[in-house]
Amino acid sequence: MDSNNGKTSEPLKLALLGYSRKDFDHITQLVNLIDLGRPLKLSVGDLSKMHKVDCDLAIAILDNISNLDTYNKHVSLVKQESSNPPIVCAAREADRQILESYRIGVKTDHIIFMPIQIERLAAMIRRFGSGASGDGGRYDAAPPDATRTVIAPSPLRLGELFLKKGLITKDDLERALEHQKQNNMYIGDALIDLGIINEDQKLKCLAEQLKTAVAAPRQYASVDLNVVALIPEHTARRFNCIAIERHGNELVVATTDVLNLNMLDTLRDMTDMRITAILGKKDDIATSINRCYNDIASHKDASRLTEDMDDRVEYVKRKEKENDNEEEAAVAGAELGIIKLVNILITNAIRDHASDIHIEPMENELAVRYRIDGDMRKVMSPPKQSHHAIVARIKILSDLNIAERRLPQDGRMAVKIGQREVDVRVSTLPTIFGEKAVLRILDKEAFEKNTASLGLTQSDERIFRSQIAKPYGLVIVAGPTGSGKSTTLYSALQAVKNVAKNIITAEDPVEFHMEGINQVNVNTKTGLTFSVALRSILRQDPDVVLIGEIRDGETADIAIKMALTGHLVFSTLHTNDAASAIARFTDIGIPPLLLGSALNLVAAQRLVRKICPKCKIEYKPPAELIESLGLDPEKVTQFYKGSGCVTCNGTGFAGRTAIFEMLQVTKNIRKLIIKNAPTTEIQEAAAAENMKTLRQAGVELAVNGTTTIEQVLAATVEI
């Protein structure tokens, strides 16, 4: 199949020359384990006697550096009397420093140090051992012949291994070999290039062939930054490798090329540790390098802060006895280290798509946590002494009173990151251990979502768009806190916004500034309640009004009246499902007749986490579960979940999507509302009109693999 074939299936002749039996055993054992992809014939002999050897490569063991002159003499003799084969010196680790730093002349083509790692030995043999087939070791099969002395176990070339596993056909292999020759690449990469196998398959086979492991996603996710930092960033980037584990003096490094001698040498010299290279996916390694070294930089800044703070602590403490240290805090808040730290906290939060940053004073430490996709994650603990300064810096940025530490405060700031400006809403709260600050990052992109990207199904979107396009009436989005109601309403405003319309909002507080819309901050403390604001808004001749939330009868009453007098009104309500929203209105005193006439649509919604597409796997759930969900076990046989990878930081999830329950107020439903029918009756009528419940909508997403069934069950309650 390949002209090269004949040559490369010839055994590689390796001579092992030395003075001591023990060293022979060490190397012989390793040679036995090496899978070169071609037969290997090993002959062993005494360096002092066996000068004439027939070999492609000789390893000459230097067991005692004081013996160097004799050693050099013997090596020269081997070179002279044999056909000048490349000779690799295997020296003792203990002699490394003398050999390297004093550049003592040792007759050799290359030095390796004992104990030798198998990968390094294999790579070295590949590099020096084969003039006939420079890169032949990588493929084509031919099991080894029986040979004299010691022989490596029957090696299968990678290409053959793919064949044997039924991953490729003979035809594929031939095509790949051709491709490999033309592009000078590894056979595995050629197969990937041609789309015959994927990277996972390649790594699995390669690991089998090289007898090494493949780094698991959770190894990257749980990596200790102190271990990563053992390799300087530029080196990690140069070789696309990352240190992921440390066991005593052994450093486990994930890399795409475990046979890269240059890398292994560089890392060993740099860390002074034994390097074990394991295989990793190219993207996984690159992503981890970006994330980890970025985090390392942040931590460095935080720890530098500790050093800076040490002097200050005493100073502040002495002064605290005299008066409050607000000036100190203000000065500290303007301190360079603190400014940098606060910047890092915010930029990292945006990078990780966090929605909130929590800066929490505990009894003995300061904790910084991010909320990402609804879950809290601790990211850093800056020195406790920096607490006042960090909070002061945040207060300065958001125009809050630094001196006031006993009352809660609210403010906002705009942070510019590169070209991007991000709004951050700040709230402080005095706790027993000091002021806690929460920074909510207002993701403009999230609010600029159009109705199409909310996660609505096609039919739901049609309903939603038709209802918000009506000239008047009330549209309610229902759900608990954090269910994405505001995003939905903002996208509705985006959809109806045009210059011919006067759109006014009353919000507590305004979450996001929108172009071309008049937004009013409701502030109960100053007496500007929803009902007060709405009465003024009515006199402002609005077309569309967004009311942040309906909490009381008074607000509800105005909302209904607005809707009945030719305004389109959007608002939210805290109820679990769509039909309960109707009962809530009557509970707070709205006459059913008015409600029935005003209401256009109630959309109940929840957020569920989406499965990370990079590590999505399917599994077979028990049939009882499928049946209990009202699904046909014949048709639905699998659900999906994320197994955890580098992209999703091991969580198995990436981002969130909404599920909806759209209760359209049709003629029939309107009648039921007006006659004050019980919630269950309205639900049944809606179901008869094909309304999908939240649970049903969620199960659909679980079946099509967008989310997990656990997410759906947790987010939706079936009554």
Binding site for Zn ion (CB under 5 A): 612, 614-615, 642, 645, 647-648
Q: CB of residue 289 vs Zn ion: minimum separation in angstroms?
A: 17
Among residues 210 and 612, whose Cβ is nearest to Zn ion?
612
Beta carbons within 10 angstroms of residue 393's beta carbon? 24
Q: CB of residue 626 vs Zn ion: minimum separation in angstroms?
A: 25
Q: For residues 28 and 151, what is the distance between their CA atoms, to the nearest angstrom?
A: 9
* Two tokens, residue 367: 């904790």
Q: CB of residue 222 vs Zn ion: minimum separation in angstroms?
A: 14
CB 585 within 8 A of CB 478: no
Q: Which residue's structure tokens are 């959809």?
A: 495
Among residues 683 and 711, whose Cβ is nearest to Zn ion?
711
CB 433 within 8 A of CB 407: no
Among residues 455 and 650, whose Cβ is nearest to Zn ion?
650
Among residues 615 and 712, whose Cβ is nearest to Zn ion?
615
Among residues 275 and 648, whose Cβ is nearest to Zn ion?
648
Q: Which long-range contacts (CB under 8 A, 24 or more apart) does 1-7 make?
A: 1/140, 1/170, 1/173, 1/174, 1/177, 2/140, 2/177, 4/133, 4/136, 4/140, 5/140, 5/142, 7/132, 7/133, 7/136
What is the DSSP code string of 79-121?
Answer: HHHTT---EEEEEEGGGHHHHHHS------SEEEEESPPHHHH
* Two tokens, residue 143: 């099991």
8-state DSSP, 56: S
Q: CB of residue 653 vs Zn ion: minimum separation in angstroms?
A: 8
- The closest alpha carbon to 129, from 91, 85, 81, belongs to 85
Q: Is 478 helix (H, G, I), strand (E, B) or coil?
A: strand
CB 434 within 8 A of CB 361: yes
Edge-to-edge, what's the strand order for the sheet holding 354-361? Answer: 375-380, 366-372, 354-361, 434-442, 420-431, 409-417
Among residues 259 and 612, whose Cβ is nearest to Zn ion?
612
Q: CB of residue 373 vs Zn ion: minimum separation in angstroms?
A: 12
Q: For residues 604 and 459, what is the distance between their CA atoms, to the nearest angstrom?
A: 15
Strand ranges, E, within 467-626: 473-478, 503-507, 518-521, 544-547, 568-573, 599-611, 616-619
Q: CB of residue 243 vs Zn ion: minimum separation in angstroms?
A: 22
Among residues 612 and 682, whose Cβ is nearest to Zn ion?
612
CB 654 within 8 A of CB 641: no
Among residues 405 and 614, whose Cβ is nearest to Zn ion?
614
Q: Which helix (H) or strand (E) holds 542?
A: none
Burial, 153: exposed, middle or buried (Cβ in 10 Å; 0-12, 13-18, 19+)? exposed
Q: CB of residue 280 vs Zn ion: minimum separation in angstroms?
A: 15
Q: CB of residue 612 vs Zn ion: minimum separation in angstroms?
A: 3
Report the b/e string of 528-555 with b at 16+ CB within 10 A.
Answer: bbbbbbbeebbeeebbbbbbbbbbeebb
Q: For residues 425 and 512, what is the distance between their CA atoms, to the nearest angstrom?
A: 10
Among residues 337 and 642, whose Cβ is nearest to Zn ion?
642
8-state DSSP, 636: -
Q: CB of residue 650 vs Zn ion: minimum separation in angstroms?
A: 8
Residue nearest to Zn ion according to CB distances in the complex: 612
Q: For residues 49 and 408, what is the distance between their CA atoms, to the nearest angstrom?
A: 88
Among residues 447 and 640, whose Cβ is nearest to Zn ion?
640
Report the b/e string of 260-296 with b at 16+ CB within 10 A.
Answer: bbebbebbbeebebbbbbbbbbeebbbbbbebbbebe
Q: CB of residue 260 vs Zn ion: minimum separation in angstroms?
A: 27
Q: CB of residue 613 vs Zn ion: minimum separation in angstroms?
A: 8
Q: Which residue's structure tokens are 């070294």?
A: 293
Q: For residues 117 and 351, what is the distance between their CA atoms, to the nearest angstrom?
A: 39
Helices (H), 196-325: 199-210, 217-221, 225-228, 233-239, 261-271, 282-322
Alpha carbon separation from 119 to 189, 261, 553 (Å, rounded): 20, 9, 75
Among residues 254 and 672, whose Cβ is nearest to Zn ion?
254
Among residues 75 and 645, whose Cβ is nearest to Zn ion?
645
8-state DSSP, 66: G
Q: For residues 17 and 63, what is the distance between their CA atoms, to the nearest angstrom?
A: 11
Q: CB of residue 232 vs Zn ion: minimum separation in angstroms?
A: 28
Q: CB of residue 124 vs Zn ion: minimum separation in angstroms?
A: 37
Among residues 233 and 352, whose Cβ is nearest to Zn ion?
352
Q: For residues 132 and 675, what is the distance between their CA atoms, to the nearest angstrom?
A: 93
Q: CB of residue 244 vs Zn ion: minimum separation in angstroms?
A: 17
Q: Which residue's structure tokens are 């985090």?
A: 295
Among residues 73 and 351, whose Cβ is nearest to Zn ion?
351
Among residues 455 and 642, whose Cβ is nearest to Zn ion?
642
Among residues 220 and 585, whose Cβ is nearest to Zn ion?
220
Q: CB of residue 644 vs Zn ion: minimum separation in angstroms?
A: 6
Q: CB of residue 171 vs Zn ion: minimum separation in angstroms?
A: 34
